[in-house]
Amino acid sequence: SAVISQKPSRDICQRGTSLTIQCQVDSQVTMMFWYRQQPGQSLTLIATANQGSEATYESGFVIDKFPISRPNLTFSTLTVSNMSPEDSSIYLCSVEGSGRTDTQYFGPGTRLTVL
């Protein structure tokens, strides 16, 4: 299974600012995913990021608010823009596993608090 790291692990930010979260994988992967997990809730998919193409966003999430970069097969960033307290959440990246079974491997998450 892939080893995934995220930076930062946590941050406290002021309303109206932006934060960029990095996700690094120890092997090359085609598909990377970004999720949000609000306090006490399950995971909600924000977008799917394929290298060499624009990210595909889920309903309720837009590129202006959550721009994503995918410059190569081992790295991606998610930016949370113009933050409000409602953006306080854990943000997780994941990668697809081998085989065609949709298994995913997750990073440790970034805990974001917006004041």
Partner 1 sequence: SQKIEQNSEALNIQEGKTATLTCNYTNYSPAYLQWYRQDPGRGPVFLLLIRENEKEKRKERLKVTFDTTLKQSLFHITASQPADSATYLCALSGTASKLTFGTGTRLQVTL
> Which residues would be at the binding site for partner 1 (CB under 8 A)?
1, 4, 31, 33, 41-45, 48, 92, 94, 96-97, 101-109, 111
Kindly report the backbone phi and psi dihedral angles of residue 47, in degrees, each rounded to the nearest multiple of 5, phi listed first.
Answer: -165, 160
Separation CA 51–CA 98 (nearest Å): 17
Q: Which of 77/91 has CB closer to partner 1?
A: 91
CB of 16 to partner 1, least distance (A): 27
CB of 60 to partner 1, least distance (A): 12
Q: Which of 9/17 has CB closer to partner 1?
A: 9
> Which one, of 57, 78, 83, lies nearest residue 8 by Cα?
78
Q: Which of 81/105 has CB closer to partner 1?
A: 105
Q: 57 is written with which tokens?
A: 């966003």
CB of 82 to partner 1, least distance (A): 26
| Residue 79: Cβ-neighbour burial (10 angstroms; 0-12, 13-18, 19+) | middle
Query: HSE of 88 in the Cβ direction (CA atoms, 13 Å)?
Result: 11
CB of 9 to partner 1, least distance (A): 9
Q: Which of 61/81 has CB closer to partner 1?
A: 61
